[in-house]
């Protein structure tokens, strides 16, 4: 059934309260079902099992996000929303490769399929944000992105010096690609958060606030995961897991 112009306008501003409630219910049901399955299977013991069940919960929430993103892209006349759908498709693909053991964290000299999925997530979302800045003149967009990049670079430098480097020890033990990705993933997340934060200084909206929080939580998870060459450990998983799950919610 075709949407009226009023419905389309309202959808662009913010999803309906009923839709938000349904999404929350679906997410809670997914997490509850996975928790029940874990208990019925004899409980969870050890970091490895916690990581596997956490990956399953994360993938389930990402799948919900993918369905919603595709739904919004089909409703919207603006094609930029397909970039969001592409971002979710990329991260779902990457998570599937990790769950089935087709890729591992920091365990190769080259990019893995999981890295391709993660870079698709970041690339598509950054492209979406750039298109979202289309109301600005070209010079204004360039200044906005430059300021966001400078903020992200400063934050990444502090994170690297105070958190990641002391935890990793000798970065030379990692491959060149792993050394780059340990910094690149948090940098991209912080860059995305900075873009939205600067937008919030101009005009606030619940959608922008939640989007910035999502990017920040993803960056926190990436920072925690990058602090150990043998992820997951109990300490890194205790931070990265909740951060990534909260970002999906």
Nearest Cα to 148, choosing from 122, 165, 126, 163?
126
Provide the strand spans (E) within the chain: none
* 103-131 tens-digit pLDDT: 776 666 778 888 999 999 999 999 999 99
Q: Which domain holds residue 67?
A: 5-248
Radius of gyration of the chain measured on its C-alpha atoms:
19
| 117/122 Cα distance (integer angstroms) | 9
The list of the chain residues with pLDDT below 70 reads 1-53, 105-108, 229-249
Note the pLDDT of residue 49: 62
Note the pLDDT of residue 248: 66
What total of structural domains would you count in the chain? 1
Note the pLDDT of residue 46: 52
Rounded to two decimals, the pTM is 0.79
Angle of helix 5-13 relative to helix 47-75, nearest 10 degrees, comes to 150
| 237/249 Cα distance (integer angstroms) | 18
| 190/151 Cα distance (integer angstroms) | 8
* Contacts of residue 44, Cβ cutoff 8 Å, sequence gap at least 6: 38, 50, 53
Note the pLDDT of residue 223: 87
| 150/65 Cα distance (integer angstroms) | 30
CB atoms within 10 A of CB 167: 16
Note the pLDDT of residue 5: 47
Note the pLDDT of residue 55: 74
């Amino acid at each position: 059934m075709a949407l009226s112009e009023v419905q389309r306008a309202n959808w662009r501003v913010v999803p309906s309260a009923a839709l938000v409630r349904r999404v929350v219910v679906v997410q809670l049901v997914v997490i509850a079902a996975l928790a029940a399955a874990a208990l019925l299977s004899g409980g969870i013991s050890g970091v490895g099992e916690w990581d596997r069940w956490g990956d399953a919960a994360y993938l389930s929430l990402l799948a919900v996000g993918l369905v919603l993103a595709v739904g919004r892209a089909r409703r919207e006349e603006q094609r930029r929303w397909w970039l969001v759908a592409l971002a979710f498709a990329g991260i779902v693909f990457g998570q599937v490769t990790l769950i089935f053991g087709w890729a591992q964290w920091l365990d190769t000299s080259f990019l893995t399929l999981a890295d391709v999925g993660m870079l698709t997530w970041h690339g598509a979302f950054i492209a979406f944000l750039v298109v979202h800045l289309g109301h600005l003149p070209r010079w204004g967009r360039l200044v906005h992105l430059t300021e966001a990049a400078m903020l992200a670079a400063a934050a990444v430098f502090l994170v690297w010096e105070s958190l990641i480097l002391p935890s990793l020890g000798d970065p030379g033990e990692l491959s060149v690609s792993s050394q780059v990705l340990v910094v690149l993933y948090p940098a991209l997340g912080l860059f995305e958060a900075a873009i939205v934060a600067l937008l919030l200084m101009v005009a606030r909206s619940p959608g922008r606030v939640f989007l910035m929080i999502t990017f920040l939580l993803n960056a926190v998870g990436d920072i925690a995961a990058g602090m150990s060459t043998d992820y997951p450990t109990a300490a890194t998983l205790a931070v990265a897991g909740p951060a990534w799950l909260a970002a999906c919610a």
